[in-house]
A and B are shown apart, each in its own frame.
Chain A
Amino acid sequence: MKKTAVQFDPFKVEQQEWKRRQRRERYKRALTISSPIFVLLLWELLSRTALIDPRFFPPPTEIIKTLVVMSVSGELFQHIWISLYRIFAGFLLGVIPGIIIGLLMGLYSPIRHFVSPLIMALMPIPTLALLPLIIILFGIGDVSKVVTIAGSVFFPVVINTAAGVLNIDGIYLDVAKNYGAGSREYFLKIALPGSLPVMLEGIQMGQAIALLTIVAAEMMGATSGIGYLIWTSYKAFLLKEMFVGLILISFFGYLFSVALRILQKKLLPWR
């Protein structure tokens, strides 16, 4: 009796459907949260029961203990600060010229035709392969790491910025021209805001590359930093410390991409 009443009330029918959709959403969210927890639990279990070698894969709880010990002693923060400093300095040193040259390439076709073969030729060379050269030029101090990061961040930013300007719909150029925009106004009102979405994609890529590069650069010629921590711990067979370094990289990578996504939302309210 009750069932037929539900069947004939369209609101009740849709309410049930809506509840089902809600349940499915909750289920998907639970899946997303549970996968890392599941892997960590499995790892802990396998490591504790020595099904995987605990010397190479120490249990996560042990790694966290090491993380706490290292942060209490202050050793960890030293590595973190120096790495963050290098990442930020290198990031800015790559992004700023990348944006400027990219905009110039997008706006002025003679500049584009002159510069783009150089960029195309240099882009495939991993900056890390140039590290020995960079160390000869800039020494083994911070400058060489900063330059290495800047070199790898520069390319995605310059290419995306130029592409961003070139991909602006032609109709907006017509509007600007028809309504009498001068070159300054054209740059500020059309070229810069119009290229921003693609430019920010490039910066997002640059951010990811900066993290990859810092670790490798610090492995090869450094006496501090997260990359150095990972490398020396590995060589001394202190695998818990090595895993602490890996966790830090993963954490900062996540943090940076979230920060950039927030920035993207703020800068592109019209999307």
Chain B
Amino acid sequence: MSRQPKIIIKHLTKVFYKKESRVKALDRISATIEEGEFVCLVGPSGCGKTTLLRILADLEKESTGSYQIMTGQEDRPLQSMVFQERGVIPWLTVEENVAFGLKMRKLPKSVIKERTAYYLKKTGLTAYASLYPKELSGGMKQRVSIARAFANDPEILLMDEPFAALDEQNKFILQEELLAIWSETKKTVLFITHSIDEALLLADRVLLMSAQPGKIVKEIKVSLPRPRTMEQVRADPDAAAHFIEIRKHLQDEVQASRK
């Protein structure tokens, strides 16, 4: 089972340069993510996780270094991002939000309709298709965001703490829904989180980042069989060991940055 590399990141460095301050947000990040792999990026807040994701999403330009996303199909977008809570556009209906990427790419109407309907159904949003986001709960809004990204059928998916603002119950439900959709499409996913449980539930591999300047300091393979549930993760002794390892790392980082 030799898998193809999908994302190759080489010595990626980002410096934010202002009059009064020079901040090195990312320091020579190198990583390879394989086709169909689910990778979680975990690190203390302010470690540059989001900056890395924004560079891959083409929303920010790297200072030095490079990255490459391998393409398979011709007409596929390179990447789609699931944003933190407020990423759903309030003046578009649920359906228009899900269809957004497809419409921007000017796909034929029939294709847009079919794919939008499919992912609305997958995320349980069919009944809410013609509502505006203000009428939805936080969990429902994030479903819209996820449906929009999957409907766009990109080479890779980037997720920036999509469940951080949800309450515990909703978070569990959405995590399992995400895994269900993901296992069907086998997309390559790079997922940012600060929740260790979330990382262990979702990821094939967890990359640990250090506090500023952000570096990848460790990687942990999570070999729990899929499909996974939170109960299994909690019961598994390996996962418990990983949990403690990651927690210790995060605490050390936070302590170190206080000095």
Q: Which A positions have Cβ atoms within 8 angstroms of B?
A: 169, 171-172, 174-182, 185, 189-190, 193-194, 196, 268-271
Contact = CB atoms under 8 A, between A and B. Distances in A.
Contacts of A194: 91
B77 A189 contact: no
A185 B152 CA distance: 16
B70 interface: no
A169 B91 CA distance: 12
Interface string B183-202: 00000000000000000000
* Highest count of chain A CB atoms <10 Å: which of B57, B100, B134: B100
Contacts of A193: 91
B131 to A, nearest CB: 10
Contacts of A270: 90-92, 132-134
Interface residues of B, number: 25
Interface string B79-95: 11101101101111000
A21 B183 CA distance: 54
Contacts of B89: 172, 175, 189-190
Interface in B76-114: 77, 79-81, 83-84, 86-87, 89-92, 100-101, 103-105
A185 B83 contact: no
B94 to A, nearest CB: 11
5 contacts: A171-B84, A179-B101, A180-B101, A181-B104, A270-B132
Nearest to A172: B89
Nearest to A182: B104
Given A185-B104, A270-B134, A178 B57 contact: yes
B77 to A, nearest CB: 6
A181 B101 CA distance: 8
Contacts of A196: 91
Contacts of A175: 81, 83, 87, 89, 100
A35 B230 CA distance: 64
Contacts of B173: none
* Highest count of chain B CB atoms <10 Å: which of A174, A175, A189, A270: A175
Pairs of residues from A and B, 7 with the lowest C-beta to C-beta distance, nearest first: A179-B101, A270-B132, A193-B91, A270-B91, A180-B104, A181-B104, A178-B81
Contacts of B59: 174, 177-178
A190 B97 CA distance: 12
A271 B135 CA distance: 10
Nearest to A268: B91
Contacts of B105: 180
